[in-house]
Amino acid sequence: MSKDQEKNWSERSIELSKFYKGKERGLEAYLHIFGLTREDLDGKKVLDLGAGPTMQFSQDIKEANLDTSVAELSPDFIFDDIRHKALESNPSANAVVGLGQELPFASESFDSVFIVHVLDHVSYEIMTRLLSEALRVTKKGGRVYCGPVYSYIRADLAKDKNFKKFLNDTGIKLSQSDVPVDYGEERLYDKISGTHYDDMPYTKIVLEK
Ligand SMILES: C[S@@+](CC[C@H](N)C(=O)[O-])C[C@H]1O[C@@H](n2cnc3c(N)ncnc32)[C@H](O)[C@@H]1O
């Protein structure tokens, strides 16, 4: 990242972390969005790609006594105030600094990768790179769970010849469906981009390797 990009990212991250304070989704929300049970995660290695500022997901997993190893990845953990806040609320967490489009993990490291409320925050180009990276670090037979995302992204992905070719060439199955709306999520106004998302339905995308 250039110095200017880093400054923009820092400002954006700090704004977002203030905005998301106390609204971060945890284990139950993640499971509900994707129709999973706790048993689906037990004994698994999981990546939370785009972790929130308090790493609520791995905190809940620990409290639920699940035998699940979680890496919480966020580029925002590079900033001292965000990393300190994250580790204060979840001291034993495996907080990893990194970008989703350049994941610092070996191929086939995880059984499942969760990308929750992240894809709406990156450009289309970054999103496709991030998805192919998420698939690279997923074990054969594993899944990448993405969502909720606004349905225009689904429409773009369905039209994207390069992404379709990538899925065909790699034998990856993509399934999409609406996200349950009763999981306590508020409709968003993105203060940074100034976009209102109220009129767009949410969807989820599951990629199976
Ligand atoms: C709205 S928060 C979602 C946090 C959490 N997953 C949740 O559902 O509560 C969006 C997160 O996206 C992450 N993020 C944004 N751009 C990213 C990128 N290029 N790679 C990885 N994570 C990114 C940041 O960590 C930020 O906390």
CA-to-CA distance for 166 and 59, rounded, in angstroms?
Answer: 35
Instruction: Kindly provide the b/e burial profile for residues 86-101, where b requires at least 16 CB atoms within 10 angstroms of the residue's own CB.
Output: beeebeebebbebbbb
196 pLDDT above the threshold of 60: no
Task: Give percent of the chain above pLDDT 70.
Answer: 79
Return the amino acid letter for 101: Q
What pLDDT sits at residue 176?
87
**Residue 64: which residues within 8 A CB-CB, separation 6 or more?**
27, 38
Ligand 1 atom nearest 114 alpha carbon:
6
Q: Return the residue whose CA atom lies nearest to atom 22 of ligand 1.
A: 50
The string of DSSP codes covering 142-182 is: EEEEEEEEEHHHHHHHHH-HHHHHHHHHHT-EEEEEEPPS-
Mean residue pLDDT across the chain: 84
CA-to-CA distance for 206 and 192, rounded, in angstroms?
Answer: 28
Distance from residue 208's CA to the centre of ligand 1 (Å): 21
Tell me which residue of 80, 112, 114 sits closest to 97, measured CA to CA. 80
Q: Return the residue whose CA atom lies nearest to atom 10 of ligand 1.
A: 118
Most confidently predicted of 43-47, 81-85, 123-127, 147-151: 43-47
What pLDDT sits at residue 184?
43
The string of DSSP codes covering 68-125 is: -EEEEEEGGGGSHHHHHHHHHH-TT-EEEE-BTTB--S-TT-EEEEEEES-GGGS-HH
Task: Give percent of the chain above pLDDT 90.
Answer: 52
Fold of 3-208: Rossmann fold (3.40.50)
Residues 150 and 178: beta-carbon distance below 8 Å: no
Instruction: Kindly provide the b/e burial profile for residues 3-40, where b requires at least 16 CB atoms within 10 angstroms of the residue's own CB.
Output: eeeeeebbeebeebbeeeeeebbbbebbbbbbebeeee
Higher pLDDT, 93 or 17: 93
Helix/strand/coil for 1: coil
Report residues whose beta carbon is within 6 angstroms of any ligand 1 atom: 16, 20, 24-25, 49-52, 74-76, 99-101, 116-118, 121-122, 126
Q: Virtual CA dihedral for 23, 28, 29, 35, nearest 10 degrees?
A: 180
Q: Which residue reads 């500022």 in tokens?
A: 53
Q: Which residue among 96, 121, 131, 146 has the greatest number of ligand 1 atoms within 8 angstroms of its CB, and so is best to mutate? A: 121
What pLDDT sits at residue 191?
46
What pLDDT sits at residue 198?
53
Q: Return the residue whose CA atom lies nearest to atom 4 of ligand 1.
A: 52
189 pLDDT above the threshold of 80: no
CA-to-CA distance for 92 and 133, rounded, in angstroms?
Answer: 26
What pLDDT sits at residue 17?
62
Residues 92 and 84: beta-carbon distance below 8 Å: no
CA-to-CA distance for 47 and 95, rounded, in angstroms?
Answer: 11
Condensed to tens digits (0 to 9), the pLDDT of residues 14-72 reads: 666 666 666 678 898 899 889 899 999 999 999 999 998 889 999 999 999 999 999 99
